Amino acid sequence: MSVVVVDTNVVLVANGQHPDVSPGCVATCALKLQAVMTEGKLALDDGFQILLEYQNKTTPKTGNRPGDAFVKWALQNNANTTRVDCVALDDHAVRGFVNFPGDPDLANFDPPDRMFVAVAHAHPEKPPILQAADSKWLKWADALNRHGVTVDFLCPDDIERFNANKTGP
């Protein structure tokens, strides 16, 4: 496995903190996080915004769930350049980050999720963003792809179901 960016919802799904996902999605997310820890590499921002978000929604010190273990691993390895790449991000008044694409099709992209895109876009390898259950990313995937940012939807059946429930038949 190569370098990846991990959206917080993958961590939460692996922890069982998303009640509407399938058991298969929980297992897939837990296995993917385990693979990152054992054979992969994680891309983070140098301002620790992603790590802070992970910590706000997990219990890495006391928790024993898969997502908690991943956050603990990320905290322990964030300075280990063989396991984690830290990407410099600069703030931008409109887009949030200089490295977030200035594309009109991404103008309504969720501000809290822009850091994941900015890290992937700024990284020299343009690693994929692992995404579990946030169906809003479906509408932005094509625009992101135009900028070399790919989204790896780990739970396609769940995310399509969530999207269908939001948009109706």
CATH of the domain at 145: 3.40.50
- Number of domains the chain contains: 1
DSSP state of 64: -
What does the block give as tokens for 110?
């969720």
What does the block give as tokens for 80?
């280990």
Q: Which amino acid is at 154?
A: L
What does the block give as tokens for 76?
């322990």
Q: Is residue 16 part of a domain?
A: yes
Q: Is the pLDDT of residue 99 over 80?
A: yes
pLDDT the model gives residue 163: 81
State the pairing for strand pair 96-97/91-92.
antiparallel
Cα angle: 10, vertex 132, 84; to 5 degrees:
40
pTM for the model: 0.94
Q: Is residue 163 part of a domain?
A: no
pLDDT the model gives residue 46: 95
Q: Mapping DSSP to helix (H, G, I), strand (E, B) and coil, where does residue 93 land?
A: coil
Q: Is residue 114 part of a domain?
A: yes
Domain that holds residue 73: 3-156
Question: What's the chain's average pLDDT?
Answer: 94
Q: How does pLDDT run across 4-53, given as a tens digit for each residue?
A: 999 999 999 999 998 899 999 999 999 999 999 999 999 999 999 999 99
Q: Is residue 166 part of a domain?
A: no
DSSP state of 6: E
19 vs 121, higher pLDDT = 121
Q: Mapping DSSP to helix (H, G, I), strand (E, B) and coil, where does residue 87 land?
A: strand
Residues paired with residue 151 on neighbouring β-strands, in sequence order = 129
Q: Is residue 55 part of a domain?
A: yes
